[in-house]
Amino acid sequence: MESNFNLNGKIALITGSAGGIGWATAKTLARYGASVILNDIKSKEILEERKQEIKRDFNCEADALQFDVGDFEAVQNAYNEIFKKYKRLDILVNNAGSLFDNLVGMIRKKDIEQTFSTNTNGVIYNLQSAARLMERNKSGSIINIASIVGRVGNEGQVVYGGSKAAVIGITLSAARELASKNIRVNAIAPGFINTDLIKFLSPTIFNQRLNAVKMKRIGQPEDVANAVLFLASDLSSYITGQILGVDGGMIM
């Protein structure tokens, strides 16, 4: 079973990987042998620290590319760099995300544009560029990080939920289009996960969301990273177009 998780020789790009789910995913894929390319919009210094930590702890190749996933030209430039160095891409984890909460009457135009730029446009831009590289080798796995909110909605999350529902639609459509090229496209819909995105929740909201989890514990970034590992590995070689909930039973 362990050998099926072997990612030796695989090149993986994880967007939004300076912290949270993306960072846990980068470490998990590196642990199983992948060469990882970190991405974030945060400072180059932070990305460089993360890159050196990956190389030190897992004795693998690692790179870091600072770019905004919602910037079409920046994404294209990044993939040009990947092609020049590696000539391939085997795994894309579309993880970069922006969380915006507000009631319908309080939503501002700039908040809509920023959220969809990162959460939705960024997924399409990276998926498009990754698919072109993967098609060269007739192989690849694309894993989009959606959200439980994109499946069932939530009060105060019209913008965020809409952007993540779009990710689900993107996943299903791309899976149909790319299956004949042996490129698999799946999504993970995390539930209540312990990341920086929840640190501003009031105690009341925090407890409400925790009480909705049937397993009665908050999820950890590693719970999502392990699901990514499965979808990136050969164990899921016949799986595409699926939305995998990692939510501790919040929805059933």
- What is the token pair recorded at 129? 């560029």
pLDDT at position 180 is: 98
Res 2: pLDDT: 53
Exposure of 22 in the CB half-sphere (CA atoms within 13 A): 29
Contact assessment for residue 213 and residue 250, using Cβ atoms and an 8 Å cutoff: yes
- Alpha-carbon span 15 to 171, nearest angstrom: 16
Query: pLDDT tens digit string along 208-236?
Result: 889 999 999 999 999 999 999 999 999 99
Instruction: Mark whether 160 is an active-site residue.
Output: yes
Both structure tokens of 146 = 């959606």
Q: Which two tokens stand for residue 5?
A: 């998780």
Q: Along the chain (252 residues), what's the average pLDDT of each consecutive run of 10 residues?
A: 78 96 98 97 92 96 97 98 97 93 87 96 98 97 97 90 97 98 98 87 88 95 98 96 97 86
Average pLDDT over the chain, rounded to an integer = 94
The per-residue pLDDT for 106 is 85
**Structural domains of the chain, ranges and CATH numbers in brackets:** 2-193+220-246 (3.40.50.720)
Catalytic residue among 32, 79, 125, 160: 160
